[in-house]
Amino acid sequence: MPMWLIGKKNYNNLEDQDLIAAYRKKGDKKAVGVLFERYSHLVYGVCMKYLKNQDDSKDATLNIFEKLMGDLKKYEVQKFSYWIHSVARNYCLMQLRSRKAMYYVDDEKGPGIDAYMESHYQDQTTEADNTEQQLVLLEEAINHLNTEQRICVELFYLKKYCYQDVAEIAGFTLLEVKSFIQNGKRNLKIYMLKKNHEQSAK
């Protein structure tokens, strides 16, 4: 077990943001150790969802928190539970980049962005190169959404929360959540269609 997971002083009673502040200010890795204790089960659950293997998920959980010690000094984290969920998901997606993902965009020729966002990785290898390209493009498109739309789209489609849960987690009203998701879907469609058109024109 890494030394930073041992002997966490009096950090156990601190809020997440206080732990992050203590680590950024003093560089004390024990603060990250407390965050590990609080959220390792969440990270492990995300890893199992994507990696489908206990040993791989355990290794990934430790790797994510090791990487966290660098990331916490580089990024401003407002809500750690949401942020670490996103970090874990992105880490797993990087591990799965060699696998096939669906690639339909929301137009008359495909099942729509809903089906794309809600689908899972498949074992088949047909059209793997194209689907891989579309997965990367979707992640790029999500990152180009404004903060509110990105948060709601990720929570609703990628993390499978219902509208009400998204509202509670993100701190928005139910009406705002539905609006952010609808506008986010539209902007994803516009971005991906534009990029696909640009690529096909080359």
Tell me the CATH number at 22.
1.10.1740.10
Sign of torsion, CA 100 110 193 187? negative
Is the residue at 104 inside a domain? no
* Residue position matching structure tokens 């041992």: 6
Question: 64 with 146, same domain?
Answer: no
Give this prediction's pTM: 0.47
Is the residue at 101 inside a domain? no
Place 99 in a pLDDT band, splitting at 50, 70 and 90.
Answer: very low
Among 186, 117, 120, 192, which residue's Cα sits nearest to residue 158? 117
Is the residue at 173 inside a domain? yes
Question: 45 with 87, same domain?
Answer: yes
| Of the candidate ranges 52-56, 59-63, 140-144, 198-202, the one whose mean pLDDT is the lowest | 198-202
> How far is residue 20's CA from residue 177's CA, in Å, rounded to a whole number?
28
Q: Tell me what the mean pLDDT of segment 35-50 comes to.
A: 92
Q: Tell me what the mean pLDDT of segment 35-55 comes to.
A: 91
Is the residue at 117 inside a domain? yes
- Any alpha helices (H) in 52-155, and if so which ranges? 54-74, 80-95, 113-118, 128-143, 147-153
> How far is residue 178's CA from residue 185's CA, in Å, rounded to a whole number?
11
Domain that holds residue 19: 3-95
Q: What is the pLDDT of residues 5-27, one digit of tens each?
A: 545 557 788 899 989 988 888 88
For residue 78, give both structure tokens: 């407002």
